[in-house]
């Protein structure tokens, strides 16, 4: 039995050990002081984040005076962490940014990472309708009534003159709707064009897609910052956005280079490098969309998407579009 004082001292030591190391400016190899910043990403370490790995490993960030620490959090937490200043930068779905901003979470979208909207309706090629109206009567698997998949689904239904009542929704909150489709439980699913179709093809399914870009344009995921940081240090935001865009352009120009950076940063890629490479190639196509623009925000797509989100009732329009984005990237 430890004496009480020793027990308290041990507890204090354990608690102290659990604390994150204090943040400080870190010198790079040339001895220049770098500004330490945190980047909050959703999902998990994955090849689709190759530009960030490349920027980190090949000095894009260091050249911009930044030492970037990458963290992964559940998607809705990214907005909160960035708003609260616990992470300087984050990556979030644009449609979620609209809702978060309307819910008084002080974040702004400062650069576009995906020119193409990544969510699509996915199914067997023979089942996928040619247009959204063809979804009538179908059963559709989706993770839940939240997030970009849900926003895209309702936007597509609206474009087809349909509502939620015209289809049967089945929810897969653990994002295992691919299993539901393979099991024959639903006709089609919502999913990310750089993920679910590849998994279905690996199971021998001939995959068809119904995308939103042509019929119900919505802005894609991008970089977010907190209002406070954007007001206090726009140069820092600009430096991060530019360095990320340069790294992303480098991966688009030479995917092998991006893949090598991802392989070095994400050990699980080694388990199935062919699939990872397919994911990267599909992701590059989404970054490019109808033309990579160095992270610039397509205000027309945002405007159309904003109106769609208002019509669908996801936002009430009380926060104007210009308060959601910083079109000059800070």
Partner 1 sequence: MRRIGAAIVSLAVFLAVWKLVSVIGGYPVYILPPPEEVVARAARAVGSGILWEHSAVTLLEIVLGFAVGATTAILTGIALGKSVLVERVLSPYIVAAQAVPILALAPLLDIWFGGGLLARVVICALIVFFPIAIATMVGIRSTDPLLAEMLRSLGATNAQRTRLLEVPSALPVIFGGLRVGVTLAVIGAVVAEWAGASTGLGVLINIANQGLFDTPLMFVALATLAVIGLAFYGLVVVVERRLLSH
Point out which residues bind partner 1 (CB under 8 A). Answer: 74-76, 79-80, 83-84, 96, 99-100, 103-105, 144-147, 150, 169-174, 176, 179-180, 183, 185
Diameter over CA atoms, the chain:
75
In angstroms, give the least distance from the CB of 38 to partner 1: 16
Per DSSP bridges, beta strands 188-192 and 222-226 are unpaired
Q: Nearer to partner 1 by C-beta: 7 or 103?
A: 103
In angstroms, give the least distance from the CB of 128 to partner 1: 22
Residue keyed to tokens 């639903």: 186
Residue keyed to tokens 């610039």: 296
Q: Nearer to partner 1 by C-beta: 93 or 213?
A: 93
In angstroms, give the least distance from the CB of 256 to partner 1: 35
CB 170 within 8 A of CB 139: yes
CB 45 within 8 A of CB 265: yes
Per-position DSSP letters for 149-162, written without gaps between them:
HHHHHHHHHHHTT-
In angstroms, give the least distance from the CB of 65 to partner 1: 29
In angstroms, give the least distance from the CB of 10 to partner 1: 26
Calpha distance 266→263 (Å, rounded): 5
In angstroms, give the least distance from the CB of 131 to partner 1: 26
Compute the chain's Rg from CA coordinates: 21
State the Cα torsion 120-123-124-126 to the nearest 10°: -70
In angstroms, give the least distance from the CB of 54 to partner 1: 29
In angstroms, give the least distance from the CB of 15 to partner 1: 18
Q: Nearer to partner 1 by C-beta: 175 or 292?
A: 175
CB-count burial class (<10 Å; 0-12, 13-18, 19+) for 22: exposed
Q: Nearer to partner 1 by C-beta: 85 or 234?
A: 85
- Residue 207 phi, psi (nearest 5): -95, 140
In angstroms, give the least distance from the CB of 261 to partner 1: 30
Q: Nearer to partner 1 by C-beta: 177 or 278?
A: 177
Task: For residue 44, give both structure tokens.
Answer: 């998990």
Q: Nearer to partner 1 by C-beta: 70 or 169?
A: 169
Q: Nearer to partner 1 by C-beta: 177 or 244?
A: 177
Per DSSP bridges, beta strands 222-226 and 33-41 are unpaired
Where in the chain does DSSP place strands (E)? 26-27, 33-41, 66-72, 89-92, 107-112, 119-124, 139-142, 168-171, 188-192, 207-211, 222-226
Distances (CA, A) of 113 to 25, 93, 164, 293, 312: 27, 10, 30, 9, 25
Q: Nearer to partner 1 by C-beta: 131 or 228?
A: 228
Q: Nearer to partner 1 by C-beta: 93 or 298?
A: 93
Calpha distance 42→80 (Å, rounded): 12
């Amino acid at each position: 039995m430890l004496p009480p004082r020793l027990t308290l001292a041990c507890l204090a030591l354990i608690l102290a050990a659990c604390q994150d190391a204090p943040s400080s400016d870190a010198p790079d190899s040339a001895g220049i002081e770098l500004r330490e910043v945190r980047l909050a990403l959703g999902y998990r370490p994955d090849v689709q984040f190759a530009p960030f790995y490349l920027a980190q490993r090949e000095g894009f960030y260091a050249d911009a005076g930044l030492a970037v620490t990458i963290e992964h959090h559940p998607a809705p937490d990214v907005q909160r962490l960035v708003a609260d200043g616990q992470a300087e930068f984050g990556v979030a779905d644009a449609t979620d940014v609209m809702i978060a901003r309307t819910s008084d979470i002080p974040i702004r979208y400062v650069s576009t990472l995906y020119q193409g909207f990544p969510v699509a309706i996915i199914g067997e090629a023979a089942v996928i309708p040619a247009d959204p109206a063809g979804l009538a009567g179908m059963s559709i698997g989706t993770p839940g009534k939240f997030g970009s998949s849900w926003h895209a689904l309702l936007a597509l239904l609206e474009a087809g003159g349909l509502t939620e009542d015209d289809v049967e929704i089945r929810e897969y909150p653990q994002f295992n709707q691919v299993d539901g489709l393979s099991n024959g439980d639903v006709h089609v699913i919502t999913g990310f064009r750089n993920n679910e179709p590849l998994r279905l093809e690996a199971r021998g399914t001939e995959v068809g897609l119904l995308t939103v870009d042509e019929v119900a344009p919505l802005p894609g995921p991008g970089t977010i910052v907190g209002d406070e940081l954007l007001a206090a240090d726009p140069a820092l935001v600009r430096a991060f956005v530019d360095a990320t865009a340069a790294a992303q352009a480098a991966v688009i120009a030479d995917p092998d280079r991006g893949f090598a950076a991802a392989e070095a940063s994400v050990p699980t890629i080694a388990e199935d490098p062919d699939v990872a490479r397919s994911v990267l190639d599909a992701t590059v196509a989404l970054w490019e969309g109808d033309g990579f623009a160095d992270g610039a925000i397509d205000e027309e797509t945002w405007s159309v998407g904003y109106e769609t989100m208002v019509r669908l009732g996801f936002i009430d329009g009380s926060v104007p579009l210009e308060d959601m984005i910083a079109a000059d990237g800070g």
